[in-house]
Amino acid sequence: MSNTIVELRDVAIYQRENLVLSEINLSVNKGEFVYLIGKTGSGKSSFMKTLYGDLPLTQGSGMVTDFDLRALKERDIPFLRRKLGIVFQDFNLLPDRTINDNLLFVLKATGWKDKEEMAAKIEEVLGRVGMKTKGFKFPHQLSGGEQQRVAIARALLNDPELILADEPTGNLDPQTSVEVMKVLQEINRNGRTILMATHDYALLLKFPSKTLKCDGSKVFEVVQKSV
If one counts every other C-beta atom within 10 angstroms of the C-beta of residue 105, the result is 14
Task: Kindly report, residue by residue over 71-94, the tens digit of the pLDDT.
Answer: 999 999 888 988 999 998 888 899
Q: What is the pTM of this model?
A: 0.92
Task: Kindly report, residue by residue over 107-136, the tens digit of the pLDDT.
Answer: 998 889 999 999 999 999 999 999 999 999
Domain boundary assignment for the chain: 1-83+193-227
Question: What is the separation, in whole angstroms, between the first and last Cα of the chain?
Answer: 37
Is the pLDDT reported for residue 18 higher than 80? yes
Q: How confident is the model at residue 226 (pLDDT cuts 50, 70, 90)?
A: very low
CATH class as words, domain 1-83+193-227: alpha beta
Q: In whole angstroms, what is the distance from residue 143 CA to residue 147 CA?
A: 6
